[in-house]
Structure 1
């Protein structure tokens, strides 16, 4: 097999992509520096290939933070880790301090997410909801950079809160609380000791 460097769209190549996932021969990439997620229905085999779906932006030429507008169910700001099984998609929307879930795989550009975690609604995006000085809770996030699922449960690397959150089931409602926390003695602790996780990414 011939090796090649894949650069994304010829019209506007990747800028600091931080998330890549393959499921059912589909390719998912967080084009982090341009505040968007690309979906290819088949894995590209050339240096450039136009995506089948763009999330976070309406057009391939667009790259603004939250689409140069207010945060919403359609926008992204520094998306990082992502996961899919070819039917669902979960994205760590890091600088909006939230994770977005599409329970049906998106098929059109800027398709709104179905569920938001870490925020009470799609129109808020402060760390731990109340700002950087606020203590974390079981349903808040602060710079989440990584997500993973086995198709049933969900793990989120809540990087800024120095912990990993575990959900028994992939949530179907906004602002769902995690069932367990890894790396902290409880959901309200952010300070760390020398043997604690400091900056979990994925």
Structure 2
């Protein structure tokens, strides 16, 4: 796919009518090469295979993918230029052909269990949300060889503890606190602040000085709960402008914060970045801050979301993975009026906003999706972790 030139893709205009556009085209396909149907992963992993990838980070030249189903992270040291390009580095497994949680039983010191969020900081550190080990792993530099142990563990007292909320050895979980984690799926550096979507505790944690350097450094912000020990869905009541059911990803700009609250089928936004737990001033995907309606059998709409698991933005585009609707929604020039419009301006992966089928109820094509789960937007390129198709697709924006 990567060597056949641009794909001219038809997407929908904001009114739902078909409108040919050539702004965004799928350029390179990594992972499963199954154009005729849903791809099953290989029983033996490799440097070219992916199994339900759920996180992706895209830099100028570097690409990092959470190969979630294989319990590993893959790193491409240089921008992939052709379909099926092999990764250069495997983390979380002893070699490119091993799989299984905790490095196939070797233990959590180097092993991962369903990693999801990935990012590389401005100073070159790699951070991985090792979600089902309830921790974050930090490498001081991006590894260039396989099976490198992390330099720092956050959310757990040491490199071998893996229970939820720093719980006991039975794995039943401990008490939610300011430095504990329970299914941390999303991580982000936004405006110099470091954020974690502590999904199982239904909250977002924030450190105003950036990535913490110790597992005992408490956050400056607990967003979505009344105190650091609380962890109930939507604060134990109905959804509201200061609650989460399933916060899963974080993005924003220097002066705004956006959280993909997947369980409430919406994005919540704060301008400027909140310093304390407070109400959001922006809601996308729902008509208001107290509604969380899911419409699985109704036609799609440009102003509704269904399990949005990921979001990313820059100064010109806001991209949202509308996961259960098998599409990516784009808001172009979202900050022109100070805040995004209620409706997206472009849909990727479907012929119109009304369509929501997996791979358009047809076959896997370069521009179709089956549960897109992770996004990374960078310099006119968009990386999509197309989880149900066991692949990552790199899209490019034309001039």
| TM value normalised by structure 2 | 0.48
**Does residue 5 of the first structure (1) align with residue 33 of the second (2)?**
no
- Report SS of the residue matched to 1:6: strand
The whole-number CA distance in structure 1 between the counterparts of 2:189 and 2:131 is 17
Residues 49 and 10 of structure 1: CA distance in aligned 2, closer, same or farther (over 3 Å): farther
**Does residue 33 of the first structure (1) align with residue 69 of the second (2)?**
yes
Higher relative contact order (CA 8 A, sep 6+): 2
Which residue in 2 is equivalent to 1:101? Answer: 138
**Does the 8 A contact of 1:35 with 1:78 survive in 2?**
yes
Residues 47 and 128 of structure 1: CA distance in aligned 2, closer, same or farther (over 3 Å): same
Which residue in 1 is equivalent to 2:188? Answer: 148
**Does the 8 A contact of 1:71 with 1:122 survive in 2?**
no
CA RMSD of aligned residues (A): 2.0
Question: Shift in Å at residue 73 of structure 1?
Answer: 3.1
Q: Gaps (5+ residues) in structure 2?
A: 7-26, 33-44, 250-399
Q: 1:122 aligns with which of 144, 148, 159?
A: 159
**Does the 8 A contact of 2:199 with 2:246 survive in 1?**
yes
**Larger C-alpha radius of gyration, 1 or 2?**
2
Return the structure number with greater strand share: 2
Which residue in 1 is equivalent to 2:246? Answer: 199
Residues 155 and 146 of structure 1: CA distance in aligned 2, closer, same or farther (over 3 Å): same
- Report SS of the residue matched to 1:201: strand
The whole-number CA distance in structure 2 between the counterparts of 1:71 and 1:165 is 27
Question: Shift in Å at residue 149 of structure 1?
Answer: 1.1
Residues 179 and 104 of structure 1: CA distance in aligned 2, closer, same or farther (over 3 Å): same
The whole-number CA distance in structure 2 between the counterparts of 1:110 and 1:149 is 25
| TM value normalised by structure 1 | 0.92
1:1-202, aligned counterparts within 5 Å? 1-2=5-6, 3-7=27-31, 13-85=49-121, 87-130=124-167, 131-132=171-172, 134-150=174-190, 152-168=192-208, 169-191=210-232, 192=235, 193-195=237-239, 196-202=243-249
User: Mean Cα displacement is larger for which, 103-112 or 136-145?
Assistant: 103-112
The whole-number CA distance in structure 2 between the counterparts of 1:109 and 1:151 is 32
| Equivalences, count | 202
The whole-number CA distance in structure 2 between the counterparts of 1:24 and 1:102 is 19
Question: Shift in Å at residue 132 of structure 1?
Answer: 4.2
